[in-house]
Amino acid sequence: MDLQQAKRQFLEYVEIEKGRSLKTVENYDRYLTAFIYFVSKGKAAKYEELDNLASNKDGIGIGEDPTSLTEDTIREFRLWLNRKPNFNAKISTGLKRKTQNYYLIALRSFLKYLTKRGIKSVAADQIELAKVPERSLDLITHDELERLLNSPNSEKDLKKRLRDKAFLELFFSTGLRVSELCSLPRDLDLTKDEFSVRGKGEKVRVVFLTDTAKEALKIYLEKMDSVTSYKLFDLTPRSIERLVKYYAVKAGISKKVTPHVIRHSFATDLLANGADLRSVQALLGHSNITTTQIYTHVTDKHLRDVHKAFHSRNKK
């Protein structure tokens, strides 16, 4: 079995046996194709070709033996990735470490699969991910959020006003990802304050409607009976991103505002008002609680207030 055959079987394993989404399979294919390209070309590998590699460009990987991979191969590939110029940037900063890690995660999974198949190669645990800076959150204030949610109210177009008000309220009520919101069906049961959504990895979770969001949705649906689309909002993720940006500017918010920023606001609002981290994890649909822990900084102000109010040397 050569590398190209091994990759194909691995991708089938990820899709069928691991049950990963087609998007995940596509990403793994792209990252592993880059690795196999580097193994095949060695020092002749060109950065210019990396972003345009087909799944099996010029037969790369055919005849390459997985057992011939070494730790040196992995190290040289990492160096090659790290030195890749950013052709789209004005000032070249190289490939971001977070992006490099996507390649390494795919490669580790591939090597684990080889071991599972009894094919001797580099041990997956020999690959350590690159250290990345602690993730920072783009947040807006409560006042800015209120202005954003109310900004559609002045739109002259009734359909646009009701639709956009509804999806903005729904975003903040549920913390949905933009892809999840775009896939919602039109026949949501609004007699209840909750509904199920299928998120990343085909995992189903329950999200909840505030009274404000529920009312906005009811008004929108009552006025939009003539719409025949089976989706709740006949919008693409990109069009929703543009609308959120439009309303942020309209609301006088100078910061960059995206649908994910509203999701951040949803999470931080829950934690700031006393919700526990595990509950927020479930509401966001995070598989790993470490992903949710990026929001714990919202408790800092509360801890400062407690320290100031109750520490003995502060009390005079």
In this structure, what token pair is assigned to residue 19? 């049950």
Q: Cα–Cα distance between 19 and 39 in angstroms, integer?
A: 28
Judge whether 193 and 214 are in contact, CB under 8 Å. Answer: yes
- Please provide residue 161's backbone torsions phi and psi, each rounded to the nearest 5 degrees: -60, -50
Residues noted as catalytic: 177, 200, 260, 263, 286, 295
The encoded tokens of residue 98 equal 């977070």
Taking a C-beta distance cutoff of 8 angstroms, is the pair 21, 201 a contact? yes
Write 241-245 long-range contacts (CB < 8 A, 24+). Answer: 241/178, 243/164, 243/167, 244/148, 244/168
Nearest residue to 104 via CA among 85, 136, 80: 80
Amino acid at 272: A
Q: Compute the distance between CA of residue 149 and CA of residue 237 in angstroms, rounded to an integer.
A: 18
Nearest to 47 by CA among 74, 79, 2: 79
102: exposed, middle or buried (Cβ count in 10 Å: 0-12, 13-18, 19+):
middle
Count Cβ atoms within 10 A of the Cβ of residue 194 and give its class: 0-12 exposed, 13-18 middle, 19 or more buried: exposed
